[in-house]
């Protein structure tokens, strides 16, 4: 199994993995939101490596493709998202659980 799959490979494989049956290439292109050039390079690479099967103009994940996706997608697709962290200068003082808080209407 090839282990040097990139994020684009996993985006295409995720769309195929989430589908209940095969999808047409154009549908995968729309759902993956990749550019046409990146999508077709990724698509050709996945088909040549045997991770995606093309049958009757529909694309399916091969058993090897499913195994590769499940093995490596958590490493590539998830991760720490720094934009979810609140900056320290934006944090206010912690309120005690029993304190009564009244919002300042002039700020809202």
Residue 28 lies in a domain: yes
Q: Kindly report the average pLDDT of the chain as a whole number.
A: 81
Residue 82 lies in a domain: no
Residue 45 lies in a domain: yes
Answer yes or no: pTM beyond 0.75. Answer: no
Mean pLDDT is highest, among 3-7, 13-17, 101-105, for 13-17
Distance of alpha carbon 11 from alpha carbon 28, whole angstroms: 9
Residue 95 lies in a domain: no
pLDDT tens-place string over residues 79-88? 667 777 888 8
Q: Which domain holds residue 70?
A: 7-76
Domain count for the chain, please give it.
1
Residue 94 lies in a domain: no
CATH number at residue 33: 1.10.10.10
**Residue 5 burial class via C-beta count within 10 angstroms: exposed 0-12, middle 13-18, buried 19 and up:** buried
Residue 100 lies in a domain: no
């Amino acid at each position: 199994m090839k282990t040097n799959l990139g994020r684009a490979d996993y985006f295409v494989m995720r769309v195929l993995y989430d589908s209940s049956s095969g999808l047409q290439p154009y549908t995968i292109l729309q759902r993956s939101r990749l550019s046409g050039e990146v999508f077709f390079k990724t698509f050709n690479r996945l088909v040549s490596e045997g991770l995606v099967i093309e049958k009757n103009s529909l694309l399916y994940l091969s058993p090897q493709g499913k195994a590769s996706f499940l093995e490596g997608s958590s490493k590539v697709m998830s991760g720490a998202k720094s934009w979810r962290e609140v900056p320290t200068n934006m944090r206010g003082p912690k309120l005690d659980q029993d304190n009564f808080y009244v919002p300042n209407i002039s700020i809202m």
